[in-house]
Amino acid sequence: MTTSQADTPLFIPPHAQPLTGDESFAYATWKFLRNPIEGFGPMAYGQPIVSVPSFGKKLHIITDPEGMNAVLSQDFKRFTKTAIDARILGPATKEGLLSVHGEQWKRQRKSVAPMFAKRHMSDLAPLITASMREFTDKLDTRPNIELNGAMAELTFDVLAKALLGDPQGLDKNRLKSATRNVLTSAGTLRPDDLLPLPKWVPRPISPKGASALRKLKKAADQLIAARKKEPQQNDLVSLLIHAEDTKTGRGLSPKEQRDNLIGFFIAGHETTALTLTWALYLVGMHAPTAARIREEVLSVCGEGDITYDDMERLPFTRAVIDETMRLYPPAPMLNRECHEETEILGRKIEVGDTFLLCNYVMHRTERLWDNPLAFDPDRFMRDPSLRAKGSAFMPFGAGPRICVGMAFALMEAVMALGTLVRDYDIEIPMGTFPRPLMTVTLRPEGGVPARLVRREL
Ligand code: HEM
């Protein structure tokens, strides 16, 4: 018999306490600079758009699907990413897809799109399974883990196998630690990043961050040089090397190739790792959800591997992934700057105005969601249109720049969560209640301790 979530009390997991609106401007700013998702109050939660003066221009905070879609889809050509993105991502991936705009972006996006096409996913699924096996072999000898670190290990390994072609001689551990060091030093949001400084103001990087960046660039260069000597293969490195614009015949420059590769190291594992970290935490804290995932996976796949064809037959496991990204969107806030005057949600937008597109708040406001603080995966089962294009659920962004790795990330997350929950008891120590902290991505502050004990099937 299927357990119904409706019969069991809903779990209210950790959330950023909104401001009350009575705080001083200085206190609210301090909260925002320390952890941006804690810097919003009744106005941002209660209204689709809040506009505040910012150094002679306006900063617009949007927490509404119509406004987000206007900026990211309908009007997308009038906007670019802001100096905040350029300052954080620029040193690592200035000429990569994450950072470029206009024709350069279009050309790069077209080059990498075949790697992420739906039809390619079934070829990649067995590589995810292979990484899962190696991961669970280690887990069986080392059941006490910190979830975020362990999930980053798993997703980095998946990235190397599935997208980089698991090259011989690649020192995966060195590459992984350089990427993690870049993410935790140079790639972590600091209070001064939120000041509206122009793009040309240099951003100081710690010696550790600078050294990690050098190592990462060297590793990417080596990977590309080695692959250039081999015949073309069906992976991302080959695609970047052999990309050719059908109209101009032009390929990607060496810097574009390297910056894209680094962009994929960064964007391709941390976000999925965080989705799995929060999902395992939520499932570990709510036994009825664990039981339902287990029952679903066992009924569809038995004790065997989860395959690409199984994806559609695991709607509850997918709903848990979606509900996790609603509560903890790995990219909790996007930003844009206006380059051509327009009107959004009835407001005049001028050149130089900036936008914070805050999906963390949009995913948790009572304006748009019933019982928004509760962990309730069944909301996506009751109403699948909650995840439709243009809806208030936007963990992957929207419009032409929507996450290029979305289908891959969803497949990986469902396969990993389904396998781990079917095969392991997820034990989270009592009283574990990690604060969601925005450091560009949304991490559980201090990590999440867990014990994963293999179940007798
Ligand atoms: C749960 C996992 C993921 C989440 C939540 C996520 C989220 C996002 C979001 C919100 C954006 C849009 C940023 C913006 O418009 O400013 C984005 C873009 C991007 N993502 Fe992901 N991502 C995930 C996984 C991945 C994976 C697995 C890859 C690659 C292997 C990837 C590669 C990229 C790239 C290259 C872009 C830039 C696309 C462009 O500008 O055209 N992401 N992602």
pLDDT tens for 387-426 read 999 999 999 999 999 999 999 999 999 999 999 999 999 9
Distance 440 CA to ligand 1 centre (A): 13
Answer whether 332 contacts ligand 1 (Cβ < 6 A). no
Per-residue pLDDT band for 192 (boundaries 50, 70, 90) equals low
Question: Which structural domain range is residue 314 located in?
Answer: 14-454
The string of pLDDT tens digits covering residues 85-133 is 777 777 778 889 999 999 999 999 998 888 888 888 898 999 999 999 9
Tokens representing 275 are 């989705």
Which atom of ligand 1 is nearest the CA belonging to 159? 30
Q: Whose CA is nearest to atom 17 of ligand 1?
A: 403
Looking at residue 381, which CATH number applies to its domain?
Answer: 1.10.630.10
Q: How many CB atoms lie within 10 A of CB 432?
A: 17
How many CA atoms lie less than 13 Å away from 410 in the CB half-sphere? Answer: 24
Q: Is a pLDDT exceeding 70 seen at residue 189? A: no
Domain contains 192: yes
pLDDT tens, residue by residue, 340-357: 999 999 999 999 999 999
Residue 394 CA to ligand 1 centre (angstroms): 12
CA 132 to chain centre: 20
Ligand 1 proximity of 396 Cβ (cutoff 6 Å):
yes
Number of domains composing the chain: 1
Q: Is the pLDDT of residue 324 over 90?
A: yes
Which of 126-130, 228-232, 291-295 comes out lowest in average pLDDT? 228-232
Mean pLDDT over 207-236 rounds to 84
| Domain membership flag for residue 293 | yes
Q: What is the C-alpha to C-alpha distance for residues 440 and 390, in angstroms, rounded to an integer?
A: 24
Band (pLDDT 50/70/90 cuts) for residue 365 is: very high
Residue 345 within a domain: yes
Q: Is residue 408 part of a domain?
A: yes
Output the CA 371–ligand 1 centroid distance in Å.
28
Q: What percent of the chain has pLDDT above 70?
A: 93
Give the integer Cα–Cα distance in Å for 272 and 403: 12
Tokens at residue 279, please?
Answer: 């999902």
Give residue for tokens 């705009």. 101
d(CA 236, CA 405): 12
How far apart are alpha carbons 97 and 76 in whole angstroms? 16
Cβ of 403 below 6 Å from ligand 1: yes
Residue 2 lies in a domain: no
Is residue 245 in some structural domain?
yes
For residue 155, give the ligand 1 atom closest to its CA: 27
Q: Is residue 90 part of a domain?
A: yes
For the Cβ of 97 lying below 6 angstroms from any atom of ligand 1, the answer is: yes
pLDDT of residue 194: 64
Which ligand 1 atom minimizes the distance to the CA of 410? 1
The answer to whether the CB of 187 is under 6 A from ligand 1 is no
Mean pLDDT of 276-295: 98
Instruction: Return the closest-CA partner of residue 359 out of 346, 347, 372.
Output: 372
Instruction: Give the pLDDT score at 188.
Output: 65
Test site for ligand 1: of 403, 404, 438, 442, most ligand atoms within 8 A of the Cβ? 403
Per-residue pLDDT band at 227 (split at 50, 70, 90):
confident
Q: Is residue 376 part of a domain?
A: yes
* Residue 257 near ligand 1, beta carbon < 6 Å: no
Residue whose Cα lies nearest atom 7 of ligand 1: it is 396
Q: Quote the mean pLDDT of the chain.
A: 90
Q: At 211, list the tokens.
A: 């050294």
* Residue carrying structure tokens 């003066």: 53
CB 421 within 8 A of CB 297: yes
